[in-house]
Amino acid sequence: MDFAIKSIVFLPFIGFLLVGLFGGKLGDKPSQILTTGILMVSALLSWIVFLDVMVDGNKYGVTLFNWMTSGTFTFDWAIYVDMLTAVMLVVVTTVSALVHLYSISYMAEDPHTPRFFAYLSLFTFMMLMLVTSNNLIQMFFGWEGVGLASYLLIGFWYKKPSANAAAIKAFVVNRVGDFGFALGIYACYVLFDTVQFAEIFAQVSEHKDATLNFLGHDYNAITVIALLLFVGAMGKSAQLGLHTWLPDAMEGPTPVSALIHAATMVTAGVFLVARFSPLFEFSPDALAVVTVVGASTAFFAATVGLVQNDIKRVIAYSTCSQLGYMFFALGVGAYGGAIFHLFTHAFFKALLFLGAGSVIHAMHHEQDMRKMGGLWKKIPFTAGVMFIGNLAITGFPFLSGFYSKDMIIEAAYASHADGASFAFLMGVAAALMTSFYSWRLWFMTFIGDTRADQHTFDHAHEGNIAMKLPLLVLAVGAVFAGGFFDFGFIGEGRVGFWNGSLITAAHDIMTEAHHVPFGVKLAPFVVMVLGVAIAWMFYGPYGRRTQLPRRTAETFPALYKFFLNKWYWDELYGFLFVRPAFWLGRLFWKQGDEQIIDGFGPNGVSSAVALIAAQARKIQTGYVYHYAFAMIIGLAAFVTWFMTSSSGH
């Protein structure tokens, strides 16, 4: 099994090296086949390891070599696999393999295909390094690695200014979160004298009352560390305040959106908090912050998704909202529910993103839903799988989202933790809006008369088998992944399933969630049906005939603009940070560099020296009588000065 685990992690890296270094010589097709085939093998091995760990409860630790030793500071480069890691392995490798396969067709016309596939493989390797780490330094290596790979992939179309701006924005915003994560790592080492997960978790109870001094005040050390780690998670998982990069990241190719921003990188923050559940359990204050931020993100992103017109941005805000669900599940102690939703969400969200890519491909890169409509006639397969994806994300009974998202809402109701009631209300409200904007997207894209250019509509067509097969596999996962794995993840008393990889409190909130009142269990279904009905009323035949969406926007213009402008977060950050940064940059550039440095340097002293030298050269004529005349003038001036100064005394 050790060899299989090593292969899972390092096969994508081998693919990256081969295609990254020799892709130009290999050519497009060999590069695509090589990287995709490698990811298929890695995904197959991941499922074998997942089933082994799930059924037998095994854990695996593979030490590759000692990475660093400096006094008591030591850690290895090692691969650690428990149930939590096994879940992430199948999510990362399965989605990545399907995205590789899908991209063969989607990126067929791109002149830089080998580079694209190399970047995809690099991203997968870095994500695998993150989830298989057994210490904070290795996790941080993978954490920064996926940040690098996402920057390269978001800005892949580097000749497109908006893509470059989006890549820079993602990189800069994530640096804010990563700074918090780095401080959390440092604080962990200061408190526990180690960066190894097992050693940290074994000491947490001993240090539960320890304090850290900051700016003259003492704070509970566990709470400080937990909050710093959560700041890192907020950046990577686009939680409210550090969310602004995620929608703009849709500037990258659509397969990138499915890989990075639907199923893998954005769930790294959820994984981090879940992995450190033994530490978070000793800080109710930190868990309350996680709960409130997660619930607020779920609600905020859902409100913005209501009015977006770019098909990919609607799904991007949906991702942001679903991540909020995962975080408030972690905050109320429903760790198993959060990871279960992470697992099921990977299938239906990747399905929706790749389905959107199929729509964009059919519409010759058009992304505005206002210029679509009637596409079910032209691309019925895509319409069908996106219909399934919508059923799953909105919580239709017995599909994946029904099991995981509904359980999170029930757990929030059952919990007595701080912020749990707020999370329950926000979760139900977000479920209503999720249903509305998901079906709004489907109705605007596939139903009614087309609003597209007639030439574009006439030539719209399905992609080939390389695009259809991943959609079919993900649709099967969206239907069956929840029901098939339901009992293992969140069944009553399933403490043994996690085998210590997640904290399961004595009261086990997941068990209590199974016994909430029937009305609570019914609430997500009711709001789901209500959301569908409202979406049909607005965007079905009646809504189109009566212009109901336009009339509603005109009736509530302030609220509509507030949602359309994403609560003005970008404008706020522009005012507080971007504009001052540009002003400071221009100050240093114009006044500091050009006027002061250049003014006194190249354009000042240096220029004066050059001018004096140029004038001095004119007296070097080569005639002796000129030099004699200069000597006489100099001597006369010296005698005059000497006589004048002598007479003064």
In the predicted model, is pLDDT for residue 619 greater than 80? no
- Identify the band that residue 400 occupies on the pLDDT scale cut at 50, 70 and 90: very high
Q: What is the mean pLDDT of residues 391-403?
A: 94
pTM of the model: 0.89
pLDDT value at 119 more than 60? yes
pLDDT band at residue 493 under the 50/70/90 scheme:
low
At 16, list the tokens: 């990256």
The Cα 143–Cα 79 span in angstroms is 15
CA atoms within 13 A on the CB side of 149: 31
Mean pLDDT of 378-388: 96
Q: Tell me the mean pLDDT in the region 606-635.
A: 80
Query: Is residue 506 predicted with pLDDT exceeding 50?
Result: no
Q: Which of 144-148, 250-254, 502-506, 538-542 bottoms out in mean pLDDT, i.e. has the lowest? A: 502-506
Most confident by average pLDDT, 24-33, 40-49, 69-78: 40-49
Spatial CA neighbour of 123 closest among 102, 154, 101: 154
Q: What is the pLDDT of residues 333-358, one digit of tens each?
A: 899 899 999 999 999 999 999 999 99
Among residues 401, 145, 418, 138, the alpha carbon closest in space to that of 295 is found at 418
More confident residue, 544 or 635: 635
pLDDT band at 615 (very low <50, low <70, confident <90, very high): confident
Work out the pLDDT band at 600, boundaries 50, 70, 90. confident
Average per-residue pLDDT for the chain:
90
pLDDT given for residue 261 in this prediction:
74
The whole-number pLDDT of residue 494 equals 56
Residue 158 has a CB neighbour count (10 Å cut-off) of 11
Per-residue pLDDT band for 585 (boundaries 50, 70, 90) equals confident
Report phi then psi at 499, rounded to 5. Answer: 50, 45
pLDDT at 444: 94
* Cα-only R_g, the chain: 31
C-alpha torsion sign, points 346, 351, 354, 359: negative
Spell out the residues 6+ positions from residue 441 whose beta carbon is closer than 8 angstroms to its own: 311, 314, 315, 369, 390
The reported pLDDT for the residue numbered 108 is 84
| Alpha carbons 203 and 185: distance in angstroms, whole number | 15
Predicted confidence (pLDDT) at residue 262 exceeds the cutoff of 70: no
pLDDT confidence of residue 504 = 58
| Strands 60-70, 73-81: pairing kind | antiparallel
pLDDT at 412: 95
Q: Residue 141 has what pLDDT? A: 95
Identify the top-confidence range among 221-225, 489-493, 499-503, 617-621: 221-225
- Section 171-188 average pLDDT: 94
Contact indicator for 246, 235 with CB cutoff of 8 Å: no
pLDDT exceeds cutoff 80 at 581: yes
Mean pLDDT of 615-623: 77
Higher per-residue pLDDT: 618 or 136: 136
- Once rounded to an integer, what is the mean pLDDT over residues 493-515? 69
HSE-CB of 431 using CA atoms within 13 angstroms: 31
State the pLDDT at residue 535. Answer: 95
pLDDT of residue 531 exceeding 70: yes
In degrees and rounded to multiples of 5, residue 378 shows phi and psi of -95, -35
- Please give the pLDDT value at position 496: 52
pLDDT of residue 495: 52
Task: Give the three-state DSSP class for 2.
Answer: helix
Q: What is the mean pLDDT of residues 59-71?
A: 87
